[in-house]
Structure 1
Amino acid sequence: MASKLHQLKAKANQVTQVVAEHGTAYYKKVLEENKQYIREPPMVEKCNLLSKQLFYTRLASIPHRYEAFWRELDYVKHLWRHRGDLKVEDVGIAALFGLECYGWFCVGEIVGRGFTIAGYRV
């Protein structure tokens, strides 16, 4: 356990050195590349306005997303009614998607329990 702590501390020191050496240059480069998105002068009022615009824009998009959800659901119902016409590739893709969702659920549960399988700390 002490050796792992020593390794972690060494890695943290390495990362700190890299950030200290290259962090400022990277920060300036990112700001320069994305200067078209920066509002001048930076003011709290402008930030509040932009956050409200984002919130209400997302709120206004709910009806569109609601309709898209029902279109997708109708498509799935159509596929289920005509499941005899499905190709093996389509079934395979659906099965892989289902397995992926199940896998993420299981991984999420394990992470939520603190990376333990049965809920007990070892």
Structure 2
Amino acid sequence: MASKLHQLQAKACQASQFVAKHGCSYYKQLMEKNKQYVVEPPTVEKCNLLSKQLFYTRLASIPGRYESFWKELDCVKQLWKNRQELKVEDAGIAALFGLECYAWYCAGEIVGRGFTFTGYYP
């Protein structure tokens, strides 16, 4: 356990040295590249205004998302009614989608358990 702690401290030290050496130039380069997204003047009031605009814009998008959801659900219902006419490609895509959802579920469970595969080990 102590050796892992020492390794972690060494890696953290290396990372902090790298950031100290290259962080300022990276920051300047990043800000220069993305200056079109910076609102002038960068004040607290402007940040509060932008956060409120983002929140209420997303809130206003809920009806459109709700409508899109029901359209997608109607499409799935229509496909299910006509499942005898379903092509092999469509069934394969649906199977891959289900497999992907299951894989994300499994990955989430593994991450939730602290990256252990068989359970919790203190």
TM-score w.r.t. length of structure 1: 0.88
CA–CA separation in structure 2 for the residues paired with 1:57 and 1:120: 42
Q: Residues 42-61 of structure 1: matches in 2 within 5 Å?
A: 42-61=42-61
Runs of 4 or more consecutive aligned structure 1 residues displaced over 6 Å after TM superposition:
none
Partner of 1:71: 71
1:95 aligns with 2:104: no
> What amino acid sits opposite 1:16 in the alignment?
S
Gap regions ≥5 residues in structure 1: none
2:18 is paired with a residue whose SS is helix
Q: CA deviation at 1:37?
A: 1.3
Gap regions ≥5 residues in structure 2: none
Q: CA deviation at 1:7?
A: 3.5
CA–CA separation in structure 2 for the residues paired with 1:18 and 1:87: 54
1:108 aligns with 2:108: yes
Task: State the Cα deviation string for residues 20-45 of structure 1 (Å, max 9, x = none).
Answer: 11111111111111111111221111
Q: CA deviation at 1:70?
A: 0.4
1:84 aligns with 2:52: no
Higher mean alpha-carbon deviation, 109-118 vs 77-86, is at 109-118
**Aligned residues between the structures:** 122
Give the alignment's Cα RMSD to 1 decimal: 1.7
Instruction: State the percentage of identical aligned residues.
Output: 74
1:41 is paired with a residue whose SS is coil
Task: State the Cα deviation string for residues 38-76 of structure 1 (Å, max 9, x = none).
Answer: 112211111111111111111111000000000100111
Q: Residues 18-29 of structure 1: matches in 2 within 5 Å?
A: 18-29=18-29
Q: CA deviation at 1:2?
A: 4.4
TM-score w.r.t. length of structure 2: 0.88
Task: State the Cα deviation string for residues 77-118 of structure 1 (Å, max 9, x = none).
Answer: 111111122221211111111111111111211221222334
Q: CA deviation at 1:11?
A: 2.7
> What amino acid sits opposite 2:95 in the alignment?
A
Q: CA deviation at 1:9?
A: 3.1
